[in-house]
């Protein structure tokens, strides 16, 4: 099995990013212009066995994806398995938040089961997936860092 990964340095602590991911259905369309919707079918991010249904476009093709949380270590990482026919090619993936100085590395990964021949046949889809992962990281960085700037320097409300 092979793996695609994309990492980006975000100027933030892990908790704001984890909280954002935990509320993914509320943020999904803001995360990427090709995201259509997301909803927890059962559970939530912090629970193994939780299931998320997401609709998005990948390389111009509409995809309905189902993810099942297989391991979780808040606020550092979670892994998932993909359900349905697409899991034959893309069985699992995950997100990790690793402390850096300053900020942290946000890493997205997805495992795939195709070799060189299949990768050539699906080269446009593979390239679209790589690009989508990169854009998600860049967009998350902008969202989290913008939210951090908007709360800096504000005083707490007085009673």
CA distance 151 to 132: 29
Q: Which helix (H) or strand (E) holds 139?
A: helix 123-151
**CATH number given to 2-148:** 3.30.530.20
Q: pLDDT truncated to tens, each residue of the chain (159 aa)?
A: 889 999 999 999 999 999 999 999 999 999 999 999 999 999 999 999 999 999 999 989 999 999 999 999 999 999 999 999 888 888 999 999 999 988 999 999 999 887 776 667 677 888 889 999 999 999 999 999 999 776 554 443 344
Secondary structure (3-state) at 41 = strand
Half-sphere exposure (Cβ direction) of 46: Cα atoms closer than 13 Å: 8
User: Cβ distance 53 to 66 under 8 Å?
Assistant: yes
Which 8-state DSSP code applies to residue 85?
Answer: G
Domain extents for the chain?
2-148
Which 8-state DSSP code applies to residue 134?
Answer: H
């Amino acid at each position: 099995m092979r793996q695609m990964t994309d990492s980006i340095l975000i100027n933030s602590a892990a908790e704001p990013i984890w909280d954002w991911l935990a509320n993914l259905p509320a943020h999904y369309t803001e995360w990427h212009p090709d995201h259509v919707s997301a909803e927890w079918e059962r559970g939530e991010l912090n629970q193994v066995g939780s299931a998320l249904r997401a609709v998005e476009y990948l390389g111009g093709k509409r995809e309905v994806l189902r993810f099942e949380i297989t391991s979780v270590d808040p606020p550092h990482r979670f892994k998932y398995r993909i359900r349905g026919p697409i899991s034959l090619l893309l069985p699992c993936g995950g997100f990790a938040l690793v402390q850096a100085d300053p900020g942290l590395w946000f890493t997205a990964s997805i495992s795939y089961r195709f070799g060189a021949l299949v990768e050539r046949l699906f080269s446009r889809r593979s390239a679209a997936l790589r690009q989508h992962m990169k854009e998600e990281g860049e967009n998350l960085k902008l969202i989290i860092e913008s939210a951090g700037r908007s709360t800096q320097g504000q005083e707490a409300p007085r009673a």
